Structure formats: structure tokens, C-alpha cells
Structure 1
Amino acid sequence: MQKEKSSVWPLIDAYGICRQTILPLYRRPTFDSAMVTQLLFGECYQTIAMTSDQQWFKILHEDTGIQGWITTQALKEIPEADYYNYLNTDFQVVTSPIAAIEYQGTNLYLLPGSRLHFSELELFNWQDHIGFTGSVRSHAVKADREQLIEIAIKYVNAPYQAGGRSIFGLDEHQGFELIFNIAGYSLTSGKIPGRKIDPELVLPGDLFIFRELERKQVKYALYLGAEEVFWMDNRIKVSDLSEWEDFLRSNKDKQVELETRSILS
């Protein structure tokens, strides 16, 4: 039933999967609205509402908990059983900067974080059968610290883009969540990741988290070892830890908080 005085109709028990390289989600059902996030090939979602003219669908990205609008043309529905099977069983996650798959008779290019729902336990070489080129890893196998850093480094020089989740444009918070998700660790949008540790115990792969309490802003830096950090300053960069600290000192928020957190241990 349509909500009273609303052009939006609620939906339940409807599910979909991203079947394009990047699927933008908008804050409102219009192309001139802000982009809130992007889905990558193979990521699943729930449809929770649609406009009365059925031209836009509001969806929920299960992994991040972020909601946004997509067009009817971008909607690819799947059965409920497939949706939960994809979420609860192992899959291959793309790790190469650019990969390709034969899809519907043509090549579709895939970006890091894209998902292929084939397990290593398959009885055939799925990479040959589906015409895949690129590198992948099993999501069920958690990356070690060295592997996590290898995944992160591929995003160096990615420019800042609000809501972006690709090497061509990256949202700082969603980007860090994506990197850890590729490595097999689940980070939910808006939640503090990992456990707090003593800064003197920091190891490569741990996170520095800087909070400006008045403006409620958060900055991340991934410790790479040898006093180097991976962080966002209009683009993803690697610099000495001292440069990041100088950047933080330039902020005008009087109430700040810095902590170190470990995701991997």
C-alpha cells in the first residue's frame, strides 16, 4: 500500500544483484541528487521501496547498510534463496586493478571488490568456463597483514569522490571499508572497526583513527610499517607518518581524539 501523501511505495521480500561494473546509488530518485555509494559487480541488495511511477527503486546494500536509489533499468532481481546463498557462502573477490569477464556475449570490465559467486570447491576450473581474466581471492580466507597492504596499495592516487568505491574515485570511509572487505574482514559503515590497541604496539595493517569531535569528522590512516602510512588527502597517498601528523595538527577543531585499532587480530 502506498504511504499516505507520499510518492514512494514500500516493498518487502525483493532482492537484486549488481550486474554492471559500477552501480551508483543516489540520495533521492533523481540523477541530479548526490551519490551516496556505489555497488560493484556481484554485490547483492534488497529493494525496500519504489516510486509511484515505478521508475526508481530504493535499495539497501547488505554489506554496508547504506540505502540509495537506482533506476528501474539498473534493477536485476534474483530469488530470495539465491540472495541468501550469495551472502552466506564463499565467493571470489576481484583483486586486480582491472579484470574482465565474458558476460551476456561481451566483455565486462570488473574493478577490485567485484564478486564472482564461485567457490574454490567447484569441481571445474570456473575461470576457464566463464572467460575470466584477472586475479581473485577467496573471501572466506582472511588476508594477513602483508596481503592487506598489497590490496590497499592498488588504490594509491585514487582521487577523492564522495560515495566512490573504485580506483577512479574513492570515498575515504567507504574506501577503507572496501579494502578490508576485499581482504576478508567485514566493516560496517558508521561503526568503529576493530579493537583499540596501545599505539606502541601498532603493526603494519593496523589503523590510526583521528576524530574531530566538534565537527564529527573522522580521518583514517593505514600503518604500512617503516613509519609510513596510507591515507586520503584529496587522493590516496603514501607518506611518512610525520606528514600525516602535521596534516592533523592543522585542523582547527579544539576537541580531537586519536586512537589506534587493530582489525586483523
Structure 2
Amino acid sequence: MQKEKSGEWPLIDAFGICRQTILPLYRRPTFDSAQVTQLLFGECYQTTAMTPDRQWFKILHEDTGLQGWIAGRALKEIPQTDYYKYLNTDFQIVTSPIAAIEYLGTNLYLLPGSRLHFSDLELFNWQDNIGFTGAVRSHALRADRKELIDIAINYVNAPFQAGGRSIVGLDGRQGFELIFGIAGYSWKSGEIPGRKIEPELILPGDLFIFRELERKQVNYALYLGADEVFWMDNRIKVTDLSEWEAFLRSSRDKQVELETRMIIS
């Protein structure tokens, strides 16, 4: 049954997987709508609604908890059993700035965060069998501080893009969620893992979180050590901590909050 006055037809028990390099999710079922987020190859989703003409489908991205619309021709359905298997078993996650896989008879380029649903326990060398080139890590293994920083550095100079989750366009918040996700740490949108610490206890791999409470704006900086931080200012860059602090002082918001957070224990 159609939702009253919504132009949506609800769906239940419908599941899909991203089978392209980047899959944009739009706020409304039109290409000129704002981008909510992006899915990367191998990420799964639930289909929750469609337009009456079946040209657009509303989906829920399980990992971020965000919803948006995709064009019908991008929908790749999978059985419910596969969906939960992919979410609850180990997989390989791409870490190199660019990788490639043979898919449907041609090379498909993959970006960091893309998923290959193979475990380190496979009885064959999956990399040779599927024609994959690039670097991956087992998502079940949480990265240490050095590996997390190595993952983050791949995104230096990535330009700001609202809803972006790739090296060619990165959202200021979702980018940090993605980096920690690649490192094996679950971070749903708005639910920061880890615990607060005193600023003087900060170590490489910990986060500074600056909140502008009136504008409801959040800025992150990953501490790299030696008074250097990794942060977004129209593009991802690495600077001295003093430059980031100067950026914070430029805020016109009268209500601000600074938090230091440890995610890797």
C-alpha cells in the first residue's frame, strides 16, 4: 500500500549490494537532489521504499544508518540470507588508494573502504582466483594506531564533498567514520565509539572533536603525533596543531565544546 501523500511504496525484506565503484544516495528521488552519502563496492543495504514507477528505490545503509534514494537501474538485489551473512562474517576491505577487480568480464576500479566478501580462512587464494590487484586487510582485525594513521594518510588532499566517502570527494564527518571503519572500528553516523580522555593524555590515533553548538557543526582532527593533526579545511590536510587551533578560534559560534576521544585502546 502506498504511503499517504508521500509518493512512496513501502518495501519489506528487500536487500541489495553495491556493485559499482561509487553509488550515490540522494535526499529525494531525483538526480538534482542533495547527496546524503555514498556506498562503495561490496557494501550492503536494505530497500525500504520505491516510487510508484519503480524508477527510484529508497535504501538504508546498514553501516552508517543513513537513508537515501538510488536510481532503479543501480539496484542489485541479493537474498536475505546473503545480506546477513555479508554483515556478520569477516570480509576483506580495500586499503590501497586504488585497486582493481575483474568483474563481469572487465576491470572495475575500487576505492578504499570497498569490500570483498572473502575471509582469511578461505581454502583457496581468493586474490588469484578473482583477478584482484591492490591492498586489503581483514575487517575482523582492528588496526593499531600506526595502521590507522597509514589508512588516513591516503586521504590527504581529498577535497570536501557533502556526503562524499572517497579520495575524490570526502565529507567532513563521514570521512572520519569511513577511515575508522576501514580500520575495523564500527562508527555509525552520530555515534562516536571509544571514550573521552583528558587532552594531555592524547596519543597518535586519538581524536579532537570541536562542536559549534549553535550551528550544530562538528569538526574532527586526528592527532598524528609530534603536534601534527589531520583535518578537513575544504580539503584534507596535515598541519601543525597550532594551525587547527587558529581555525577553531575563527568560529563565530558563542557556544563551543572541545572533546578529546580515544577510540583505539
Q: Which amino acid aligns with 1:170?
A: L
| Corresponding residue number in structure 1 for 2:22 | 22
| Corresponding residue number in structure 2 for 1:127 | 127
Q: Which amino acid aligns with 1:261?
A: R
1:112 aligns with 2:112: yes
| Corresponding residue number in structure 2 for 1:169 | 169
Distance 2:151 2:23 in 1: 22
Distance 2:192 2:258 in 1: 13
Deviations 1:17-71 (CA, angstroms, capped at 9, x unpaired) = 0000000000000000001000000000000000011100000000000000001
| Corresponding residue number in structure 2 for 1:182 | 182
| Corresponding residue number in structure 2 for 1:88 | 88
| Corresponding residue number in structure 1 for 2:237 | 237
Q: Which runs of 5+ in 1 are unaligned?
A: none
Count of aligned positions: 265
Distance 1:16 1:83 in 2: 7
Distance 1:247 1:65 in 2: 30
SS at structure 2 position matched to 1:172 = coil
| Corresponding residue number in structure 1 for 2:147 | 147
Distance 1:88 1:198 in 2: 34
Range with greater deviation from structure 2 (35-44 or 250-259): 250-259
SS at structure 1 position matched to 2:150 = helix
| Corresponding residue number in structure 1 for 2:263 | 263
How far did residue 108 of structure 1 move? 0.2
1:74 aligns with 2:70: no
| Corresponding residue number in structure 1 for 2:222 | 222
Q: Which amino acid aligns with 1:21?
A: T
SS at structure 1 position matched to 2:70 = strand
Distance 1:197 1:203 in 2: 10
SS at structure 2 position matched to 1:161 = coil
Give the 4+ runs in structure 1 shifted more than 4 A.
none
Q: Percent identity?
A: 84
Distance 2:193 2:248 in 1: 20
| Corresponding residue number in structure 2 for 1:159 | 159
TM-score, length-scaled by structure 2: 0.99
Q: Which runs of 5+ in 2 are unaligned?
A: none
TM-score, length-scaled by structure 1: 0.99
Q: Which amino acid aligns with 2:10?
A: P
How far did residue 194 of structure 1 move? 1.8
Deviations 1:99-119 (CA, angstroms, capped at 9, x unpaired) = 000000000000000000000
Distance 1:4 1:66 in 2: 23
How far did residue 155 of structure 1 move? 0.1
